[in-house]
Structure 1
Amino acid sequence: MSQAFTPVASVPVDPSTARVHEEGWQSWSPSGAYALDARPYRPTNSNWATVCYRPGVTVPDGVFQGEGLLALAPKGEDGPVIVCAAADPLSSVPSIRLEVRDGQAEISADGKVDFYSYLGPGGIQGALADWADSLGLQAPRPAPTVWCSWYEYFTAVTEDDIHENLRAMDTLDLPIDVVQIDDGYQKALGDWLTLSGRFRSRAGIADAIRERGRRAGIWTAPFLVDPASDLAAEHPDWLVRSTTGAPVHAGRNWGHDLNVLDTTHPDAAAYLTEVFRTLRAEGYDYFKVDFLYAGALDGVRHQDADALTAYRSGIELIREAIGEEAYLLGCGAPLLASIGLFDAMRVSPDTAPHRRPEADDYSQPGQDAAEFTGVGRQWQHGRLWINDPDCLMARPAVETREQWAAHVEATGGLMASSDRLLSLDEWGVATTRRLLGGAAAC
C-alpha cells in the first residue's frame, strides 16, 4: 500500500515557461515534458490503467506525477532543473507529485527520494541523463539489427512466413543480424513450449536461420498466464493470488483475461527456467520478454516477497537460464525497477501502421504516442540500456512512414524491421537497408 505524500520542496516557477517531466511507471506509460497548463496523458479506461500505467494509482486532476522520477525546469529549459528521484529505485519506486499553487511548485512523494538542482547543459534531458550517469552503470553493449514478425503478421504468423522473409533478406541484401519470431508460435500464454498449429518445429526454424548466417530470436511474455492454458489448468498453485484467493487479474488483452505466474514458487521457477534453457538449447540467443509489468503486480506469492523483489528475481532467473552472452530485450517493463537487468529496453508504447492512438490514450499503439514517450526517454539511451523505439515499418500501407522512419533513425537505438519484406517498394527497401546498415556499422 502506498504511504501518505509528504512535502519534499517548494519551488517558485514561471508559469509561462516552466516545464515538468513525468516519468511513467513502465515502457508503455506516457512520459515526457509538459507546460504547466497542459493536461498530462492519463488512462482512458480501467483495463489500460492496469496494463499500461501503474496499477492501483490514480493521479488527481491538476497534479503532475512521476513514478520514481520527476524533473522541473522552473524557468524553462534554458535554466536550472530540479530533479526528484527515488533514493533506491531497485527496491522502492515512490510516486512523486507536483502541484502548482500561488506561483509555487509544491513537490511531495510517498517514499524516500533524493532532491537536487542540475545546472548543466541540455535542460530536462540533460538533467535526467546526469541522474542516470550518477548510477555508475556499465555501458550497454551494442544492439544487433533485427527483423521481427509482429507488425506484419501479428498473432497469425506462420512458420512459412518466417521462411519467406528469411529468404527475402538474402534476395534484398538486408543487413539483419537477428530474425525474431514474435507472438503466435505458442499454443497459449504460459504454454511456451507447446506450438500452435501454424508451426512445425521451433528448433528447425532456429537451425534454418542460423544456416543463413543470422541469429535466432524469440518472443515470450514470461509472467503472463492465460486462464485457458494448460499451465493454469494443471498448476493453479503457480499463480499469484489476491487476498481473497482469486488469481490476480493482470488486465485483458488478445480477447483474454490475464493471470500472473508466481516465480517465487519453486516449481513455477523451475518451469520458467526449463522454458528458457530449452529455447537457448534450440539455438535462440536473442530474447524479447514482454508484458513484464505483470511480474511486479501486488499479490500473495508463495514466498513472502514484495512485488518489485519478486519481479527482479524473475528477470534474474531468466538471465541465468539464457546465459550472459544472449541478448535480452525488455518490454512493458517497470522501468526504474529494471535498471541493471537488460541489454535493451522498449521506452515507449507500441507503434502502429496508423498515427493516432486509440481514444487519444497515449499508452496505446500509435506513432504519435510512441514518438512522444520515445523522445521523452531519449536520456536513457546508452546509460540505462540501449533504447528500443519500436520497429521500423517502411511498407507503402503504413501511414506517415517517412516521419516514423525519421523518428526511429534519430533515436540511434535498437533498429528492427517489421514488414513482410517482399511488400517493400523501392523507398522501403532503401530505407530499411540504410537504417539497419547504419546501426550495423556502429
Structure 2
Amino acid sequence: MHHLFTPVASVPVDTRTALVHEEGWQSWSPSGSYALGDKPYRPTNDNWATVCYRPGVTVPEGAFQGEGLLALDSGDGSPVRLWAAVEPTRAVPSIRLVVDGDTAEVSADGPVKEWTGATIQSVLGDWAEGLRLSAPRPAPTVWCSWYEYFTAVTEDDIHENLRAMDTLDLPVDVVQIDDGYQKALGDWLTLSGRFRSRAGIADAIRARGRRAGIWTAPFLVDPASDLAAEHPEWLVRDTDGGFTHAGRNWGHDLRVLDTTHPDAAAYLTEVFRTLRAEGYDYFKVDFLYAGALDGVRHDGDGGDDGDAAALTAYRSGIELIRQAIGDDAYLLGCGAPLLASIGLFDAMRVSPDTAPHRRPEADDHSQPGQDPAEFTGAGRQWQHGRLWINDPDCLMARPAVETREQWAAHVEATGGLMASSDRLLSLDEWGVATTRRLLSGGAR
C-alpha cells in the first residue's frame, strides 16, 4: 500500500530563509509554506487524521510531507523546485523533505517529476497549467444556509432569506440548502421533519428568479439510516469483514457507500436524477474523502493496490454523479482528495471550514476557524482558474462574527466562489454593504 521512500534529490539550503510548501491530501488538510524551523500542522487526534488528513499516513517528527506535491524555495536565490505526482489522478505519492545540516533530503514513495520556477505559487501554477485542462466556468453567486442554521435549518428559514434577498437587493444567483433537510446521511430523498417538500422549495426559489442548490455527502452513510439497515451489502468493508470506518461526525460513526456495487450506483444515480428533476442545478457534494478510503469494494479485491483502486472508485463515483446531474449543472466539491479530483469539478473548496471564530478547536488546523481557512486558502491560491474555481468558503458578515472585516477581506482577495451564509435579516449596514459588494464582484 504505502511504499518505501526512495531518495529523489539533495538540495543545499539557506536554513534561515528557505521555505517548504506542503500540499495536503484533501480540502481540509492544512496546506501552505513553512520556514525550516516551523512545526507543520498535523492531526491532533486519530479521528481528525481520518476525516481531515490522508488516512493511514503518519509523518515522522521533523519531516515535511506533501501529498502529490512538495515545493522548496532553498532561500539562496536558486530556482524554486517542485516535485509532483506523474499521474496525479491515478497515484498520489507522499513526498518527504528532511533537513540534514544545510542540505534538504527529498524522498518519495512513488514516481515524481521535477519542475522549477520563480516562486512557490508560480511553479505550482505552471504545473497546473501543464495539465492542459479547459478553463473552469465562472461560478454563480450563492446564499448557503449552513453557517447560520447548521443542521437545524427549516423550510421557513429558506423562505425568510429568499424574501430578504429581494428586500435587500442582493445579487444571489443560487439559493443552496445545506445539511439538515434530509432524514439521515444516506437517506437523501427522505425529508427531515423540518422540510415539507424539496420540489416545492425549489419551485419557490426559481419563482423568484434564482437557482436552487442542494448539499449532499454522497459517499457517507449513517449506520442508523434506512440505507444501512436495508442494504449493508452496499457499504465498503475492511479486510476483517467489518465496515470501513469514515471517522466520527454528527455524534456517530460513519460508513462508506460502495459506488462500485451496481445497485448502490443505481441508487446514487436515482438520488441525483431526482434532485435534478425537482429543479436543483447546483450541487455541493461534501465529505468526499470517504469515497477514496481504502477498503474491500464490490468490483475489486482491496488488496495491495488499495490506493489506486480507491482513487479509481472515487473518480467513477464522481463521474456517476456528473452523468446524473448533466453537464450544465454546477458541481462544487468539498472535503475532497484534491489531486484525485482534477478534471471532475467546476469549483472546489480549497481550505478547512471557516467559523464565526478565528481559532480552530484544539489547535488542529484542519478544524473550523478563520485562521486555518485563511492559511490553507492562501496556500492554494495557485489552483484558482487552473484546476477549478476556488471556493474559499462562505462570507459571514453579521455582527456576531469575530474579525468579520478580516475574513471578508480574505474571501474577496481570493476572487473565487462568492457565497453568503448569514441570516440576512441579522446583517447591519456594514454587513449588507459588504455582502452586496462581494456578490456583485463574483468570481474573477
Q: TM-score range by the shorter chain?
A: over 0.9
Of the three residues 319, 330, 337, the one matched with 1:334 is: 337
Where 1:285 maps in the other structure, the secondary structure is strand
- In structure 2, C-alpha distance between the alignment counterparts of 1:438 and 1:87, rounded to whole Å: 36
Aligned to 1:300: 296
Q: CA RMSD in A?
A: 0.8
**Which residues of 2 match residues 315-394 of structure 1 at below 5 A?**
315-394=318-397
Aligned to 1:139: 135
Q: Which runs of 5+ in 2 are unaligned?
A: 303-308
**What code does the residue aligned with 1:312 have?**
R
**Which residues of 2 match residues 32-431 of structure 1 at below 5 A?**
32-75=32-75, 79-118=78-117, 120=118, 123-304=119-300, 306-431=309-434
CA deviations over 1:29-51 (Å, ceiling 9, x no partner):
00000000000000000000000
- In structure 2, C-alpha distance between the alignment counterparts of 1:261 and 1:111, rounded to whole Å: 28
CA deviations over 1:175-208 (Å, ceiling 9, x no partner):
0000000000000000000000000000000000
**What code does the residue aligned with 1:111 have?**
G
Q: Is the 8 A contact 2:177 2:214 kept in 1?
A: yes
Deviation at 1:299, TM superposition (A): 0.1
CA deviations over 1:64-85 (Å, ceiling 9, x no partner):
0000000000116x64110000
**What code does the residue aligned with 2:104 have?**
A
- In structure 2, C-alpha distance between the alignment counterparts of 1:68 and 1:39, rounded to whole Å: 20
Deviation at 1:117, TM superposition (A): 2.3
Where 1:369 maps in the other structure, the secondary structure is helix
- In structure 2, C-alpha distance between the alignment counterparts of 1:345 and 1:220, rounded to whole Å: 15
- In structure 2, C-alpha distance between the alignment counterparts of 1:81 and 1:328, rounded to whole Å: 34
Where 1:262 maps in the other structure, the secondary structure is coil
- In structure 2, C-alpha distance between the alignment counterparts of 1:79 and 1:189, rounded to whole Å: 51
Deviation at 1:438, TM superposition (A): 1.0
Aligned to 2:306: none
**What code does the residue aligned with 2:5 have?**
F
- In structure 2, C-alpha distance between the alignment counterparts of 1:105 and 1:385, rounded to whole Å: 32
- In structure 2, C-alpha distance between the alignment counterparts of 1:400 and 1:23, rounded to whole Å: 27
Q: Is the 8 A contact 2:115 2:123 kept in 1?
A: no
Deviation at 1:25, TM superposition (A): 0.2
- In structure 2, C-alpha distance between the alignment counterparts of 1:188 and 1:173, rounded to whole Å: 35
Q: Is the 8 A contact 2:19 2:74 kept in 1?
A: yes
- In structure 1, C-alpha distance between the alignment counterparts of 2:133 and 2:113, rounded to whole Å: 18
Q: Is the 8 A contact 2:334 2:348 kept in 1?
A: yes
- In structure 1, C-alpha distance between the alignment counterparts of 2:259 and 2:78, rounded to whole Å: 46
**What code does the residue aligned with 2:315 have?**
R
Deviation at 1:256, TM superposition (A): 1.2
Deviation at 1:102, TM superposition (A): 2.1
Where 2:442 maps in the other structure, the secondary structure is helix
Where 2:296 maps in the other structure, the secondary structure is coil
CA deviations over 1:300-333 (Å, ceiling 9, x no partner):
0000171000000000000000000000000000
- In structure 2, C-alpha distance between the alignment counterparts of 1:431 and 1:417, rounded to whole Å: 10
Q: Normalising to structure 2: TM-score of the pair? A: 0.98
The sequence identity of aligned pairs, in percent, is 84
Q: Normalising to structure 1: TM-score of the pair? A: 0.98
Aligned to 1:5: 5
CA deviations over 1:2-41 (Å, ceiling 9, x no partner):
1100000111000011000000000000000000000000
Where 2:42 maps in the other structure, the secondary structure is coil
4+ residue stretches of structure 1 with deviation over 2 A? none
- In structure 1, C-alpha distance between the alignment counterparts of 2:202 and 2:3, rounded to whole Å: 49
- In structure 2, C-alpha distance between the alignment counterparts of 1:23 and 1:36, rounded to whole Å: 16
- In structure 1, C-alpha distance between the alignment counterparts of 2:188 and 2:125, rounded to whole Å: 37
CA deviations over 1:125-149 (Å, ceiling 9, x no partner):
0110011011111000000000000
| Higher alpha-carbon deviation: 315-324 or 302-311 | 302-311
Aligned length: 437
| Higher alpha-carbon deviation: 26-35 or 107-116 | 107-116
Where 1:194 maps in the other structure, the secondary structure is strand
Where 1:100 maps in the other structure, the secondary structure is strand
Where 1:395 maps in the other structure, the secondary structure is coil
- In structure 1, C-alpha distance between the alignment counterparts of 2:50 and 2:259, rounded to whole Å: 20
- In structure 1, C-alpha distance between the alignment counterparts of 2:252 and 2:146, rounded to whole Å: 19
CA deviations over 1:71-118 (Å, ceiling 9, x no partner):
000116x64110000000010000000001021110000001101322
Q: Which runs of 5+ in 1 are unaligned?
A: none
Aligned to 1:26: 26
- In structure 1, C-alpha distance between the alignment counterparts of 2:144 and 2:220, rounded to whole Å: 21
- In structure 1, C-alpha distance between the alignment counterparts of 2:42 and 2:57, rounded to whole Å: 11
- In structure 1, C-alpha distance between the alignment counterparts of 2:317 and 2:268, rounded to whole Å: 9
- In structure 2, C-alpha distance between the alignment counterparts of 1:254 and 1:260, rounded to whole Å: 15
Deviation at 1:360, TM superposition (A): 1.1
**What code does the residue aligned with 1:220 have?**
T
| Higher alpha-carbon deviation: 387-396 or 305-314 | 305-314
Deviation at 1:212, TM superposition (A): 0.3
Where 1:169 maps in the other structure, the secondary structure is helix
**What code does the residue aligned with 2:153 have?**
V
Q: Is the 8 A contact 2:65 2:97 kept in 1?
A: yes
